[in-house]
């Protein structure tokens, strides 16, 4: 999932302009430098150093992707907070779409997060959605992600590019009046992208992510880029627009409600129901073998299984959205807690929108807590809930 944290963004003030006299030396050195790895490495350092950013954007498809990618445009602000990994973010976006009769129309979104609360207003239904980051409210920002150039908000932004299968320098090209070095990247997964880095700052201004057949690409292009400027956290708080309905949002079932029962097949072929585990604490982990964050938390789940298994705590891995062999994965990695298979319908009932998602269910069948993501704070919360609700020795 996106570090969200993910969704709190904000802006800056040092504007991206065509290089002036102060930038001539940097521009000359990069123009003379055509080594693609050195250009990408410089871009990684420059982008990783950014603490706040604002820009206007346009997202669209070219070639064979033109009909697949709705065109959108708008503005973005992102700012780091004092809490590591947590951002403030704000996105204003207009999305151009076509209805089933072929008639074009526009949808406008205004979404923001201050790192704790998420607000999104959308024009079609005139609804103002409000959720908390802890309650999975970052889901609300999904329609606005077309405007986010993620490299500005993640560690090691061009690590994949520096480790790519191949890099090719393709010369220079202007992006909204700014001269850029153009680098074609072939990744180890055989995907391909073309990056445009400002000659004056080494910051990315455009990326074309090529579709599989090479006949087109999904593009995001930036203008009016400004970095490391002063930002007001109050700018990330949105009020409900007049005439809009306020709609609360959560991606978890409510704490205190009775957890829906389910019956699924274990890796050993037996049937297991949640109701079979009453009178103890159950930790459900919705996961899949292909999910990196899921794998990251599994050692903690194994540790909980070993430490608390004889005290009435049962860890259940609910295998969801699977593409491989979950039983083989557990065996290969030495995990011995219980796993049930084909959990897609259960995940839907539990409002799972991203994995890993955890639910803690008490001895009476009521939900004690729910969390999402490979976050050390979630691991701490799991241990806290166990200690607060486990039967004394």
Whether residue 223 sits in one domain with residue 272? no
Contact indicator for 87, 79 with CB cutoff of 8 Å: yes
Rounded CA separation 321/289 (Å)? 9
| Residue 22, pLDDT score | 36
Contact indicator for 148, 9 with CB cutoff of 8 Å: yes
Rounded CA separation 195/205 (Å)? 8
Whether residue 343 sits in one domain with residue 195? no
Last residue of a domain, one of 227, 249, 280: 227
Residue closest to 359 by CA, chosen among 311, 295, 287: 287
Q: Is the pLDDT reported for residue 25 higher than 50?
A: no
Whether residue 153 sits in one domain with residue 27? yes
User: What digits encode the pLDDT tens for the residues 118-151?
Assistant: 999 999 999 999 999 888 888 899 889 999 999 9
Whether residue 57 sits in one domain with residue 127? yes
Residue closest to 201 by CA, chosen among 365, 79, 50, 341: 50
β-pair partners for 246: 128
Q: pTM of whole model > 0.85? A: no
| Residue 237, pLDDT score | 94
Whether residue 33 sits in one domain with residue 172? yes
Domain-located, residue 281: yes
Q: Is the pLDDT reported for residue 1 higher than 60?
A: no
Rounded CA separation 82/8 (Å)? 12
Whether residue 179 sits in one domain with residue 37? yes
| Structure-token pair, residue 46 | 């420059």
User: What digits encode the pLDDT tens for the residues 237-259?
Assistant: 999 999 999 999 988 999 999 99
| Residue 188, pLDDT score | 86
Beta strand pairing call for 117-122 and 127-132: antiparallel
| Residue 393, pLDDT score | 66
Last residue of a domain, one of 227, 249, 278: 227
Q: Is 381 helix (H, G, I), strand (E, B) or coil?
A: helix
Direct distance between the N- and C-terminal alpha carbons of the chain, in angstroms, rounded to an integer: 38
Structural domain boundaries, residue 181: 14-227
Q: What is the DSSP string of 119-154?
A: EEEETTTTEEEEEETTTTGGGGGGGGGGG--GGGSS
Domain-located, residue 268: yes
Over range 159-168, report the average pLDDT: 95
Whether residue 222 sits in one domain with residue 283? no
Last residue of a domain, one of 227, 245, 272: 227
CATH number (domain holding residue 175): 2.50.20.10
Based on the structure, what is the number of domains in the chain? 2
User: What digits encode the pLDDT tens for the residues 287-336?
Assistant: 999 999 999 999 999 999 999 999 999 999 999 999 999 999 999 999 99
Q: Is the pLDDT reported for residue 29 higher than 60?
A: no
Whether residue 376 sits in one domain with residue 300? yes
Q: Is 304 helix (H, G, I), strand (E, B) or coil?
A: helix
Rounded CA separation 122/111 (Å)? 9
Whether residue 284 sits in one domain with residue 137? no
Domain-located, residue 372: yes
Whether residue 126 sits in one domain with residue 33? yes
How sure is the predictor about 100, in pLDDT bands with cuts at 50, 70 and 90? confident
DSSP summary character for residue 171: E
Domain-located, residue 111: yes
Whether residue 171 sits in one domain with residue 27? yes
Q: Is the pLDDT reported for residue 173 higher than 80?
A: yes
Over range 3-20, report the average pLDDT: 33
| Structure-token pair, residue 66 | 């033109």
Task: Kindly list the distances between the CA atom of residue 229 and the CA atoms of 13, 22, 217, 233, in Å, as whole numbers in the listed order.
Answer: 4, 19, 32, 13
Q: Is the pLDDT reported for residue 368 higher than 80?
A: yes
| Structure-token pair, residue 103 | 């008639």
How sure is the predictor about 24, in pLDDT bands with cuts at 50, 70 and 90? very low
User: What digits encode the pLDDT tens for the residues 178-204?
Assistant: 999 999 999 988 899 999 999 999 999
| Residue 306, pLDDT score | 96
| Residue 79, pLDDT score | 93
Q: Counting Cβ atoms within 10 Å, is residue 22 exposed (0-12), middle (13-18) or buried (19+)?
A: exposed
Whether residue 193 sits in one domain with residue 299? no
CATH number (domain holding residue 343): 3.40.30.10
Domain-located, residue 246: no
Domain-located, residue 205: yes
Domain-located, residue 291: yes
Over range 26-32, report the average pLDDT: 43
* % pLDDT > 70, the chain: 92
Task: Kindly list the distances between the CA atom of residue 125 and the CA atoms of 16, 132, 136, 145, 164, in Å, as whole numbers in the listed order.
Answer: 36, 21, 21, 20, 43
User: What digits encode the pLDDT tens for the residues 207-223?
Assistant: 999 988 778 999 999 99
Domain-located, residue 258: no
User: What digits encode the pLDDT tens for the residues 265-299?
Assistant: 999 999 999 999 988 999 999 999 999 999 999 99
Q: Is the pLDDT reported for residue 10 higher than 90?
A: no
Residue closest to 112 by CA, chosen among 84, 79, 73: 79
- Residue 156 main-chain phi, psi, to 5 deg: 45, 60
């Amino acid at each position: 999932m996106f570090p969200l944290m993910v969704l709190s963004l904000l802006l800056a003030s040092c504007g991206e302009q065509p290089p002036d006299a102060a930038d001539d030396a940097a521009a000359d050195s990069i123009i003379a430098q055509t080594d693609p790895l050195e250009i990408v490495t410089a871009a990684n350092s420059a982008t990783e150093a950014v603490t706040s950013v604002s820009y206007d954007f346009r997202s669209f498809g070219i070639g064979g992707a033109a009909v697949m990618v709705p065109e959108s445009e708008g503005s973005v602000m992102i700012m780091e907070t004092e809490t590591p990994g947590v951002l403030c973010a704000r996105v204003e976006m207009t999305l151009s779409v076509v209805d089933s009769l072929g008639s074009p129309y526009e949808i406008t979104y205004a979404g923001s997060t201050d790192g704790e609360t998420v607000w999104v207003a959308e024009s079609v239904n005139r609804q103002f959605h409000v959720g908390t980051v802890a309650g999975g409210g970052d889901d609300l920002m999904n329609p606005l992600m077309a405007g986010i150039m993620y490299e500005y908000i993640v560690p090691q932004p061009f690590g994949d590019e520096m480790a790519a299968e191949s890099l090719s320098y393709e010369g220079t090209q202007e992006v909204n009046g700014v001269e850029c070095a153009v680098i074609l990247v072939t990744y180890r997964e055989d995907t391909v992208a073309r990056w445009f880095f400002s000659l004056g700052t080494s910051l990315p201004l455009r990326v074309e992510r090529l579709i599989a057949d090479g006949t087109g690409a999904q593009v995001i292009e930036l203008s009016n880029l400004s970095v490391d400027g002063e930002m007001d956290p109050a700018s990330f708080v949105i009020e409900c627009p007049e005439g809009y309905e306020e709609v609360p949002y959560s991606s978890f079932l409510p704490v205190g409600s009775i957890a829906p029962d389910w019956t699924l097949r274990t890796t050993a072929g037996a049937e297991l129901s949640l109701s079979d585990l009453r009178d103890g604490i159950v930790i459900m982990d919705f996961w899949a073998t292909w999910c990196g964050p899921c794998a990251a938390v599994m050692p903690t789940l194994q540790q909980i299984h070993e430490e608390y298994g004889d005290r009435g705590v049962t860890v259940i891995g609910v295998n969801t959205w699977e593409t491989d062999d979950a039983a083989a994965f557990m065996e290969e990695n030495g995990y011995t807690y219980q796993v049930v298979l084909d959990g897609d319908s259960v995940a839907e009932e539990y409002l799972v929108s991203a994995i890993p998602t955890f639910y803690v269910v008490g001895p009476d069948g009521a939900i004690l807590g729910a969390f999402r993501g490979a976050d050390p704070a979630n691991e701490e919360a799991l241990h806290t809930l166990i200690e607060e609700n486990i039967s004394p020795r």
